[in-house]
Amino acid sequence: MSLLKQSAAVRRSMGDMAGAKTDLEKMLAVARALGNSREQVVGLLELSRVLVLLNRLECLEFAEQALSASVALEDKVLQAIVKGMWGGLNLLLRPWRKEYSAACHESMDAVRATGNPLALHSRLTQHIYVELLASNYQSAATTAVEALALSRLLGDGYMFMAGHYYYGLTLLHSGDWGRLRETAEQSRRAFEWHDGGLLLRLHRHILMGWLHVAGGDFLGAKAYCEEALSEGVGAWADFVTVHCSAILGNALYGLKDYAGAIRCFDAFFQAEKNKALPIFSNYFFPACLGAGETWLALGKLDKARHYAQRLCDLSSGPPERTYLALGHRLFAEIAITEEALDEAHSHIAEALEIVESAETPLAAWKVYATGEKLYHRLDDVRRMSHCRSKKQDEIDQLLNSLQVSDPLREHLLNLGESHDSLSSTGYSLA
């Protein structure tokens, strides 16, 4: 059993998830033959971790089995690890629920209290995502730094790669884009020639695409997504395609290729029907946002409203404040198009309350831009001026996070200027 577990860990670090799954199935069979309850739980737990990238249904099924089987154990630390893994995997692959989040936090508290680095290592990387999903970006970043240091100390290459990816997502959403560039480049150099680094490279391409969408470089974003699609072949093809679709659709929307954008978003939401395909829950945020904005640009307001509502529903639970604010902003844009200015004011007030009470750099400047446009329409000079000033402050913070030589700065400046011109016309910010 020990050898099979070690072999599975090596295969996982090499990116051979199917081989790791085979080893763990053999290990679980031995544990069952021996009647070893603890090792059965370990086998089920490790299978759920490997299957997170292979099969959504099987992953969650093994996590559920591990949770049920762990109840009879005397090992409270293993019980806590299993409970946290169960909650985290459900948060990763299903819509947010309170019990999933509570399980993760209870598990982290219990494991941290043990002072056991191996036990802590089992929770830290996944906990980055838990904090990210609730838009606790600073806490997520602190957790990521700790997780990466421990992965390096323990020599776990797979968790080191996963930690880089989650850290990158955190830096993207916290607006620390210069550090995101540095982290992405470090991970590229570290794993460029490593067999198991393929998945990290694919994630990096998609993440860089997401960054360039946020910064207004839509051609650059499109290129990153297309690079990921060209590399994502074989076992990873469907996994890469579905996640790439959410970001590529936003890039095409920015390029005003609305037909292409809709094809991407349709592909993403169609893939949702495949219950076995792992789709990370945080990709539904950009997919819903982009689909809503594209349908708005096409004048299909009912469809735009459908995705705005879904975005608000998905983000209100944790809450993920960035996308909740953007959901209300999208509703406001729809209402402005319909000349329903009272409704638009209600939604933009909700969005403004969110961005003024939390750090949401991906959302804030866009919310202020829509507020500026709306208050211009309402002839409210004071509020319009306030939103214009705050919008520029938010853009300046993003600019200051980047190196002076970073070409993304020019795109971000141009994006802000284009919104300045649109804000005085009453046109949609499409």
* Average pLDDT, 10 consecutive residues per value, the chain (430 residues): 94 86 98 97 96 94 98 95 97 97 97 93 93 97 95 83 90 96 80 61 85 97 93 79 96 98 98 95 98 98 98 97 98 98 98 97 97 97 97 96 95 74 40
Number of domains in the chain: 4
* Domain co-membership, 91 together with 109: yes
- Work out the burial of residue 247: count CB atoms within 10 Å of its CB; fewer than 13 is exposed, 13-18 middle, 19 or more buried: buried
- pLDDT at site 187: 73
228 contacts 268 by C-beta, under 8 angstroms: no
CATH at residue 90 = 1.25.40.10
**Token pair in block for residue 157:** 């290459």
Of 279, 313, 335, the last residue of a domain is 279
* Shared domain check, 372 and 329: yes
Whole-number Cα distances in Å, 117 to 49, 356, 429 = 19, 38, 49
Q: In the prediction, which pLDDT does 416 show?
A: 66
- For residue 168, give the amino acid letter: G
pLDDT (0 to 100) of residue 425: 39
- Torsional sign, CA 189, 215, 225, 280: positive
Helix (H, G, I), strand (E, B) or coil at 407: coil
Whether residue 284 is contained in a domain is answered as: no
Q: How far is CA 363 from the centre of its chain?
A: 15
Domain assignment present for 367: yes
Q: Do both 339 and 208 map to the same domain? A: no
Distance (Å, rounded) from C-alpha 311 to C-alpha 294?
A: 14
- For residue 341, being part of any structural domain is answered with yes
CA angle 285, 287, 289 (to 5 degrees): 70
What integer pLDDT is reported at residue 424 of this predicted model? 41
Q: How far apart are CA 28 and CA 256, in angstroms?
A: 52
| Assigned token pair, 351 | 């969005």
Q: 176-193: string of b/e by CB count within 10 Å (b at 16+)?
A: bbbbbbebbeebbeebee
CA dihedral sign of residues 57, 59, 62, 63: negative
AA identity, residue 293 = E
Last residue within a domain, chosen from 58, 88, 114: 114
Quick one: 102 and 180 in the same domain? no
Q: Based on the domain organization, do 296 and 420 belong to the same domain?
A: yes
Residues 96 and 185 in one domain: no
Question: Are 25 and 68 part of one and the same domain?
Answer: yes
Determine how many CB atoms are found less than 10 A away from the CB of residue 281. 17
- Domain contains 132: yes
| Nearest alpha carbon to residue 176 among 214, 122, 219, 128 | 214
Q: Is 117 helix (H, G, I), strand (E, B) or coil?
A: helix
What pLDDT does 52 receive?
A: 92
Instruction: Give the type of residue at 47.
Output: L
Whether residues 272 and 213 share a domain: the answer is yes
Of 297, 298, 323, 296, which is closest to residue 310 (Cα–Cα)? 323
Are both 235 and 132 inside the same structural domain? no
Say yes or no: 335 and 406 in one domain: yes
Answer for the pair 132, 162: CB distance below 8 angstroms, yes or no. no
Task: Answer yes or no: do 303 and 429 share one domain.
Answer: yes
Q: Do 236 and 268 have their domain in common?
A: yes
Listing DSSP states for 126-149 in one string gives HHHHHHHHTT-HHHHHHHHHHHHH
Please check whether residue 285 lies inside any domain of the structure: no
> Which string of b and e fits 286-314 if b means at least 16 CB within 10 Å?
bbbbbbbbbbbbeeeeebbbebbebbbeb
In which domain, by residue range, is 173 found?
116-191
Q: Please state the φ and ψ torsions of residue 260, each to the nearest 5 degrees.
A: -65, -40
pLDDT of residue 418: 62
Q: Examine the fold and report which residue of 86, 114, 142 is the final residue of a domain before the chain moves on.
A: 114
CATH number at residue 253: 1.25.40
Distance CA 45, CA 294 (A): 41
